[in-house]
Structure 1
């Protein structure tokens, strides 16, 4: 009898231990599910997000990453603050802007050191030869409060235009941006690849200001402008360092892939619909612009100051505020990833 009870107890304990192990494993897997919102993942500036997925680097790190698409970075930021997602692939300047509102987020992987954007001018307005000629015109941006909006206002001021002498209109990117140019709703606007190449190829627009390379960005903005990044709430980063490290490992490997492979090889790893029917144009644009990506995810030393200078002039949130730039990014994870 005792023997039977002992056996039953042993079996019960074994079953309990097995159930506990399964529960623990399930919890571990659940903890490794990370949702990241991308401010338009078909845009070449945010290419590392889909590329990391395509290369299988998230799976290699044992993390289940879901990428969600959102056309405007400012909306992705709102999703992060609402707790709907754990990270955003968007412009670093949101980290500066949010600190001014008392919200602490930080870039944990810096994808690029140039915006990768251009200011296009409509072919219907051949009289526009410089930014100053936009006086009285309407310019397209992805969204009000977006990075494209701040950069547009900054370049307008640099060209001598006064506040109110241009109007910025939120038109998104891709098809909605193109339609706004075609319909004459805007006379120019800031956008990225592959929209740039599509409009230039059809002759409907031409490049007025180019922010796709580090050198041209320094010329236009006065310094390196760190843009595309993976940013997350600081509190979440501090509480989930293991998961953040795995993300950094995956993205640093992705940036290395970008820097050691041709545009054609990179394009092969991307979803085919990103070519928008013009694979050759997609590759050509990527070849011209992939120098904007950092080789290792580390924040450019002079970059945060340039971003703060732009926002201090045109963000009502930032103007006059004391910003601790050291708290807007961290290189802890990418530097550790480089040694793995």
Structure 2
């Protein structure tokens, strides 16, 4: 594919527009509590339990879905909302965007959402609190961030960054956790051997790297592909390990009452993934509705990068769940490992 050449000035302007759009999306999260619970399907529709395949029209369902705005880790759901796949299957998805996973999960626990798309760590934390929240599938297996450096930077691996300043979106955030894990694996103490600072996202992260304030910064898609497309940046580190990054989580009592709705949501999500994996270009138009300032060829690269981390069959892997659990234990968030079958239920995924 030809490499898109975008000037740094144009990229800065483009990212500021994207950030503005994301900010507007986050503002919509404040209205989540006004959602009407009566609009959620009871899950007793006409579709069968074998993945929704039936000769009759399935009963319509409305599902309130929360996600953190600004990135592409929930790509499967983003495609399905924007290309009409859920609607065609009789599912109206009421999307609510949040600025943080913690706020989103609070809305889920409070009953303002039916499904939340976020890191498995939130499932573990709710289980620790005695709340019935489980993961019913996974749409992204990874940390969602990569470390980007200038193309001519001398660093070839994380081991070369000792003594350097590195930027994350926010200290204590997922991007910070993912970076520190990588540094630890490279024999570098993230608290002593490097300085980690807040770098924000989009244009602010780009400016921090370009100015030399930081040796590299953690960015997510489509920002990563935009930066690389200029020819001035490269990815130094993209976490290679299993990590239950974006799971489909819900309260168990809601799922018990709405099994058909959840089953159909997972079935359609699986079909979207199968279609996009076979033809990534087919998902570009849908994703440009989320990020309309990104060139189509850059978006196709970003789509391919994200789809490569969607797990087969949308299944949460035990390795990915354990990685998150180990980090939570190390950070003192939970004090012991919670059994996989207590936090994950894959029985509603298409077989």
Rate the CA distance shift 1:258–1:295 in 2: closer, same or farther, 3 A. Answer: farther
User: Equivalent residue of 1:321, what SS?
Assistant: coil
Aligned match of 2:245: 227
Aligned match of 1:21: none
CA distance in 2: counterparts of 1:191 and 1:47, whole angstroms: 16
| Contact residue 74 and residue 140 of structure 2 kept, 8 A | no
Rate the CA distance shift 1:332–1:146 in 2: closer, same or farther, 3 A. Answer: farther
User: Equivalent residue of 2:238, what SS?
Assistant: strand
CA distance in 2: counterparts of 1:177 and 1:44, whole angstroms: 17
Shift of 1:47: 1.0
Shift of 1:334: 0.8
Does residue 334 (structure 1) correspond to residue 324 (structure 2)? The answer is no
Does residue 107 (structure 1) correspond to residue 135 (structure 2)? The answer is yes
Shift of 1:71: 4.1
| Contact residue 86 and residue 92 of structure 2 kept, 8 A | yes
Aligned match of 2:95: 67
User: Which of 271, 274, 292 is matched with 1:253 structurally?
Assistant: 271
- 1:300-311 alignment, distance < 5 Å: 300-311=317-328
Rate the CA distance shift 1:317–1:59 in 2: closer, same or farther, 3 A. Answer: same
Shift of 1:145: 4.3
| Contact residue 150 and residue 232 of structure 2 kept, 8 A | yes
| Contact residue 143 and residue 175 of structure 2 kept, 8 A | no
Does residue 57 (structure 1) correspond to residue 85 (structure 2)? The answer is yes
Does residue 39 (structure 1) correspond to residue 68 (structure 2)? The answer is yes
CA distance in 2: counterparts of 1:140 and 1:78, whole angstroms: 28
User: Equivalent residue of 1:238, what SS?
Assistant: helix
| Contact residue 73 and residue 146 of structure 1 kept, 8 A | no
CA distance in 1: counterparts of 2:37 and 2:321, whole angstroms: 38
Q: Which digits, 9 at most, give the CA deviation of each residue in 1:81-138, with x for residues without a partner?
A: 34332222222333234434444422222113334531223569x3544323434444
Aligned match of 2:191: 164
With normalisation by structure 1, the TM-score equals 0.74
In the alignment, structure 2 segments of 5+ residues that lack a partner are: 1-35, 42-60
User: Equivalent residue of 1:316, what SS?
Assistant: coil
| Number of equivalent positions | 296
Does residue 140 (structure 1) correspond to residue 167 (structure 2)? The answer is yes
In the alignment, structure 1 segments of 5+ residues that lack a partner are: 1-25, 212-216
Does residue 237 (structure 1) correspond to residue 255 (structure 2)? The answer is yes
CA distance in 1: counterparts of 2:250 and 2:156, whole angstroms: 40
User: Which of 196, 210, 214 is matched with 2:224 structurally?
Assistant: 196
Shift of 1:55: 3.1
Aligned match of 1:296: 313
User: Which of 321, 332, 337 is matched with 1:322 structurally?
Assistant: 337
User: Equivalent residue of 1:299, what SS?
Assistant: coil
CA distance in 1: counterparts of 2:112 and 2:195, whole angstroms: 32
CA distance in 1: counterparts of 2:98 and 2:210, whole angstroms: 23
Rate the CA distance shift 1:28–1:273 in 2: closer, same or farther, 3 A. Answer: closer
Q: As a proportion of its length, which structure holds more helix? A: 1
Highest Rg: 1 or 2? 1
CA distance in 2: counterparts of 1:98 and 1:50, whole angstroms: 25
User: Which of 200, 206, 209 is matched with 2:237 structurally?
Assistant: 209
The RMSD of aligned alpha carbons is: 3.0
Rate the CA distance shift 1:84–1:270 in 2: closer, same or farther, 3 A. Answer: same
User: Equivalent residue of 2:117, what SS?
Assistant: strand
Shift of 1:272: 4.0
Rate the CA distance shift 1:327–1:122 in 2: closer, same or farther, 3 A. Answer: farther
